[in-house]
Amino acid sequence: MSENNAAQRVRLNKLIADSGLASRRHADRMIEEGQVTVNGKRVYELGVKVDPTADRILVDGKPLRKPLSQKYYLVFNKPKGVLTTMDDPHGRPTVADYLGEVPARVFPVGRLDWDSEGMLLLTNDGDFANKVMHPKAEVTKTYLVKLDGQPQPHQIEKLKKGVSIVGGRVSARHIEKIKKSGDNKSDKYEWYKIVITEGKNRQIRQMFAKVGFDVLKLQRVAIGRLRMGALKSGELIFLNEVAVERVFLADDPEEVKQKRTYKGRTASVKKTAKPASRIRVKKESKGR
């Protein structure tokens, strides 16, 4: 193998991520599940390196696209009853139904459960997605939670100190009781804002179950210091570099109390997301 050939070889999962098909973590799962072939041979080994210019790489039998030069970063307000996936064999609604004329294939960064709603990042930048989801990054996620009761201070303190759930031990970085405008007043229910850094499956529902409460409604409203603000259910917006960097700034009690708003949204691309057959994108002039 020549030095030039060796220098241009890259990890297979990175190449898949750079193509905009999936995050590196998802690419690893594709490889482990035998969905990827290199020069006609199915690859299962994580960490294998390939030559993008010489090797023929197929994912699910389709040629891998060349790495994308244009990177896109979006926030989508996922409605309840929509899957955080790009396709579903059972024909259920997915986030892909709302992407309309987004000018590239993008994928979700992380996930929200079927019965949860709120802020979801989408991108075609695999490195960005990997950085957001890596446990060492400790990216904060902020949620509004409606409970079927009123937790006592010692129960809230227990969640801050940490509880064991399926997937490991987790804790709340911050919790505070809030008043939710427009919600029917009842002594039976309470709303809380909770900030976490982990991303275990159904983590918040499991956490509150450990102290005896069911979550009736769950909405993610921020990732890092990037707020969802007034973005309506089913809407999406493109982000510029300023907004993207806010993802990596940790949320804290002082930030939680501030008005939720975007800083760094691009004025020319906000639109209401609808199924692709109905969406229309109108760009405003740069001067607006």
Catalytic residues: 113
| Integer Cα distance of 262 and 26 in angstroms | 28
Decide if 40 contacts 61 (C-beta within 8 A).
no
Tokens of 191: 């709303």
